[in-house]
Structure 1
Amino acid sequence: MTTAQLYKELNYVNHSREKRLYYANLMQDNPDLLPSLLDILFRVDDKIAPRAAWVFEFMCNADIETIIPYLDMFTENMYKVHLDSAVRPVAKICEFLAKAYTSKTNNKIKNTLTKTHKERIIEVCFDYMINNEKIAPKAYSMNTLFLLGKDYDWVHPELALILERDFQMQSSGFKARARHILKKIKKE
């Protein structure tokens, strides 16, 4: 399947779990299509880009290690994504990576995620926290920053500062997650 053919196929992806799962499985069965999927995902002004992001998120949720050959490409370009419906899955994938990296069980992400990858993820998550993003990317980002911040002295204090500063102006969902993260930071 060419990139053009995959692009046409992504027109059939919608919000339904069934469709996202179908295409995520298609990607896992055909890993040679992943560069094309990422190419479409990073066409950031294209209305099909979020559909590629949804599929990539589902694929990473099923097996985060499938991202390994594309970590450089993903982390180098994720900051460009700006459409709300594509930002959420990108933030979620960052959280998947952080959870795998900080997991107690051994996995390939721990050995593959470089300092550069982590710094790019931290940077994009801080951008999501301070920019006018919806609650979901902010929630995934604060968790990612908490997890990856254990390796950096400056991340937790900066995250706490942002959470406390924005607390009163945010939704109840943000406040609940922020309270939880702030409690964890204070325990550290």
Structure 2
Amino acid sequence: MHLFKLPAIPVSPALHAEIEALLGPRESLSGFVQSAIEESLARRRQQQVIDHAQAALAVAALPLSVLVVDDDEFSHTLLREVLASLGVHAVHSAMDGRSGAQVLDQMQRAPDFVICDMLMPETDGIDFLGQLAKRQYQGGVILLSGEDSLMLSIAAEVAVSDGLKVLGSFSKPLRRQDLADLMGLAHEA
């Protein structure tokens, strides 16, 4: 809305008399209106700050969620157990990159972390990372491979250049302490 397009506000004789009674001898109606507008805007700005802070607290209070994309059932089981021992119980699973993208699309909110194997049939980790980049995924990405450390390095470089936040790349199995450190979780030996 442009201020020059504001409509005139009709003032009835009764309202005019009430305003004059409230205004001091040196106070003008325009000064009174300007002061009321400034106070209203200040209250709205303050409410926006409160609303943003409450939204941030609500998100921070949500339990951590993780999407594990790996074609190895044993890796899923192991990661689920390690994550549970760290207090993470919202673990979603996919057996390849294509189903990982489908799971991601079905989630109400993006997971905080994605743990992704690089070598999978159908749609591999590199393709899935491309899907994450297209979706402008903002969470942490942890890369795994059971075989090829060179592929891990290349995948990490590509993912970072695509705007993903790669927290680390590891050979399987991922150690509990490494996972806790990457996710910023406390861990006891």
Flag the structure with higher helix content.
Answer: 1
TM-score range, shorter-chain basis? under 0.3
Using the size of structure 2 for normalisation, the TM-score is 0.27
Using the size of structure 1 for normalisation, the TM-score is 0.27
